[in-house]
Amino acid sequence: MVTRTLFALLVSSLALWGFVNAQPSPLERLPRQTIGDRAFRQYARVERTDGTYRQMYLDERSLEVFARTNTLPDGAFIVMKTYYSPGVESTNFTKSRANGRWLYGSFSPQRPNFDTRPDASCQGCHQTATSSVAGTFTLPMLRRAVRDGRVAVTTCNRGGRTPCDPATYER
């Protein structure tokens, strides 16, 4: 009798252990995307009322670091895919973190390219990102995605690339 109870207990705790371990972590629930030869996860989507939208991806290694430390390490690489009409991918814009500052780049979807360099015109606008540290507009959305295991989505009532009200990225 005692043996049987112990056995039942053992089986059920093993089953519970297996169940808990099979649950994907919040990071694993973010859509995985291979770009070129690198692995990314999507963390955000910003929709504009003019019908355009942009999707943001962070490299997997930096995503793990960010989840632990709440900071983007050197080597962090963000890709932003732009869509001027639904489902039609246009230019990809990129930024990478090196020695505590941002370098910028871009490529066409057919030819991924991870070269980045200092760019005053990109930087000039990005440093106005007041809703976040480190000149990254969508950083509050990254925080939310990491916490919830879900792509953070927001809608902005301004057209083109005009920065949205900081609160837009906090929602």
Binding-site ranges for ligand HEC (CB under 6 A) = 46, 54, 56, 78, 80, 93-95, 104-106, 119, 121-122, 125-126, 136-138, 156, 161, 163-164
- For the CB of residue 55, give the shortest distance to ligand HEC in the complex, in Å: 9
Nearer to ligand HEC (CB atom), residue 23 or residue 121 = 121
Going 160 to 165 to 166 to 169, the CA torsion angle's sign is: negative
Q: Burial code of 90-127, b = ≥16 C-beta within 10 A, e = fewer? A: eebbbbbbeeeebbbbbbeeeeeeeebeeeeebeeebe
What is the rounded CA–CA span in Å between residue 89 and residue 114?
18
Nearer to ligand HEC (CB atom), residue 87 or residue 124 = 124
- For the CB of residue 117, give the shortest distance to ligand HEC in the complex, in Å: 10
- For the CB of residue 171, give the shortest distance to ligand HEC in the complex, in Å: 12
- For the CB of residue 135, give the shortest distance to ligand HEC in the complex, in Å: 7
- What pairing do the DSSP bridges indicate for beta strands 32-35 and 38-48? antiparallel
